[in-house]
Structure 1
Amino acid sequence: MGNTIVKNQVEEVKNFLEKTVSELEQFLNETTLSGLEKELPGDKEYYKVILSHIRKLLVHCEEGLDACKVIMNSEPFSKGAAEKILYRIYHQCIEEFFSPKNDVWYEDSRSAYTGKNSIKMRSEVPDSISAVLKSLEGDFQRIREELEYYETDYRTKMIQSK
């Protein structure tokens, strides 16, 4: 891929991460465990794990955003460094959104055929949690499709280097 294409992708991902960070910060700044329990009395431990994962996702997105800003401001533009950053963002942000390590929620692969949201919670959750995930999902899906190339490209390079 040419420098221009990669640079445009970094810019697009930077814009996506700015929006994502803003939405996650707003949600976390306004959300408390006691507030979630008032909204929907339920499994307090499950709510804690959800909030913890959303905080981790926010940190990964902030780190990715910082990396995008650095690479966009560097002269000359380093295509190799940019591709490495995009690969890292794909794994730390995109994959973590759709398939969190602690299985707080999961992606319903059949949703692509039904036109519904693909993120499914393990248990019932307050509407505020569902709303923030639904508001972010479309952009995460779009960026995942954009960055899947880096996953495939990286694996190909690893196989060829053996």
Structure 2
Amino acid sequence: MGNSMVKVQTEQTAEFLSSAVADLTVYLNAVTIQSMLEEEAGDRQFFEELLSNFRRLTVFCEEGLEACTIITQTEPFRKAAAEKILYRVYHQCVEEFFQPKHDVWYEDSRSAYTGKNSIKFRQQVPVSASSLVANLESRFQQMREELEYYETDYRTKMMQSR
């Protein structure tokens, strides 16, 4: 893939990450465990793990955004470094969204056939949290499809270099 195409993909990834960070940050700055419990009676520990996943995802997205911004502003543009960053964004951000550490939600692959959201929570969550994830899901799905190439391509290059 040419330098200009990789650069454009890196810039688009930075825009996506910036948007995701903004949405997550707004939510995290506005919500508390207590406000979640008031919105939806539930398991306090589960809500703590949910917020922990949101914070973890935010940090990974912020790191990816910073890396994308730096690489796109560096002259001359370093294609190999950008591909490595896109690979990392795929694994640390996109995969973290669909397979979170604390396993408070999961991806129901059958939902792709029904046209519904594929993220299912293990327990009932506040509508605000559910709305946030639903809002992010389509964008993460699109980014997953766009970055899968880099995941496969980067892994192939690493295997060939051994």
TM-score by length of 1: 0.97
2:70 is matched by which residue type in structure 1?
A: V
Pairs aligned (count): 162
1:133-148 alignment to 2 at 5 Å?
Answer: 133-148=133-148
SS, match of residue 41 in structure 2:
coil
Does the 8 Å contact 2:28/2:55 carry over to 1?
A: yes
2:72 is matched by which residue type in structure 1?
A: M
CA distance in 1, matches of 2:158, 2:77: 24
In structure 2, the residue matched to 1:15 is 15
In structure 2, the residue matched to 1:27 is 27
CA distance in 2, matches of 1:47, 1:122: 11
Unpaired segments ≥5 residues, structure 2? none
CA distance in 2, matches of 1:101, 1:34: 23
Q: Report how far residue 156 of structure 1 moved.
A: 1.8
Percent identical pairs in the alignment equals 59
**CA gap 1:144/1:116 in 2 versus in 1, 3 angstroms:** same
1:84 is matched by which residue type in structure 2?
A: K
In structure 2, the residue matched to 1:115 is 115
1:137 is matched by which residue type in structure 2?
A: E
CA distance in 2, matches of 1:6, 1:92: 19
In structure 1, the residue matched to 2:160 is 160
The root-mean-square deviation of aligned C-alpha atoms, in Å, is 0.9
Q: In the alignment, is residue 98 of structure 1 matched against residue 98 of structure 2?
A: yes
CA distance in 2, matches of 1:85, 1:25: 22
CA distance in 1, matches of 2:155, 2:83: 13
Q: In the alignment, is residue 129 of structure 1 matched against residue 137 of structure 2?
A: no
Does the 8 Å contact 2:84/2:154 carry over to 1?
A: no
1:27-46 alignment to 2 at 5 Å?
Answer: 27-46=27-46
1:122-147: CA deviation from partner (whole Å, max 9, x where unpaired): 01111011000000111100010000
Q: Report how far residue 111 of structure 1 moved.
A: 1.1
1:92-132: CA deviation from partner (whole Å, max 9, x where unpaired): 00000001122111000011100000110001111011000
TM-score by length of 2: 0.97
In structure 2, the residue matched to 1:61 is 61
CA distance in 2, matches of 1:75, 1:158: 25
Which portions of structure 1, spanning 4 or more consecutive aligned residues, are displaced by more than 2 angstroms?
A: 157-162
